[in-house]
Copies of this chain bind each other. A is one copy, B any other.
């Protein structure tokens, strides 16, 4: 079992054959096919990434895509002016790196927001295996298609007011977290990112994020305590997203 130079500093998690069997991300992960015996990536292996450590950086050569097993990762680019734009937050089960398949090198940076574990899937064997397995090919195309649709969704987001963006963001996070954790009931979001990072994702100033969250809190739609946001009224949040941008909370919360 060896590592490429690019990640030689990483700690091995578990690259044994049956590894995918008990993985909670199997459904959405490309590598679940390994357990199914459909394809066996010989050097698929894991890596743990510490908080603040980069998984890859823009400009680096690409050798693999990553599947997030646990933790949280953000991808971002840095403008000439120096300020950062966050392109995506990733939760367990997400595949990171579709954008750069067959581009040769990464177009953005990826960094862990909290300690994370990822699976490496070498690009070469992934693409080669697609020739053998129609199922894998379909999963790959579906994953890339979803990434395209996610980005189209973000473009739509740019048209919304600050309040609508925040509401939509909270709902999206809840939906994604529900995928791995117990879905119904709770709706308590563990946000791994800061207000500033939410802002750099939604294209809002930190202050606007903060103000909007307090407004939603005071309207009774959410509850904010340290290291978590509870969605008290997801339906109202939905209404805010849908509503015409004519002061929402006041109209909706009633």
The residues of A with any CB-CB pair to B shorter than 8 Å are 77, 79-81, 85, 87, 98-103, 107-108, 127-128, 130-132, 134, 137-138, 140-142, 144-149, 151-152, 154-156, 158-159, 203, 242, 244
CA distance A63 to B194 in the complex (A): 43
Contact between B244 and A81 (Cβ–Cβ < 8 Å)? yes
Copies in the complex: 2
CA distance A146 to B247 in the complex (A): 38
Contact between A100 and B145 (Cβ–Cβ < 8 Å)? yes
Known: A100-B145, A159-B203. 5 other contacts (CB 8 A): A85-B156, A98-B144, A101-B145, A148-B148, A155-B158
Contact between B131 and A137 (Cβ–Cβ < 8 Å)? yes
CA distance A150 to B167 in the complex (A): 27
29 contacts between A and B (CB under 8 A): A77-B156, A81-B244, A85-B155, A98-B144, A99-B145, A99-B149, A100-B145, A101-B141, A101-B142, A101-B144, A103-B146, A103-B149, A107-B149, A127-B134, A127-B137, A127-B138, A130-B131, A130-B137, A131-B131, A131-B132, A137-B137, A144-B145, A147-B148, A148-B151, A151-B151, A151-B152, A154-B155, A155-B155, A158-B158
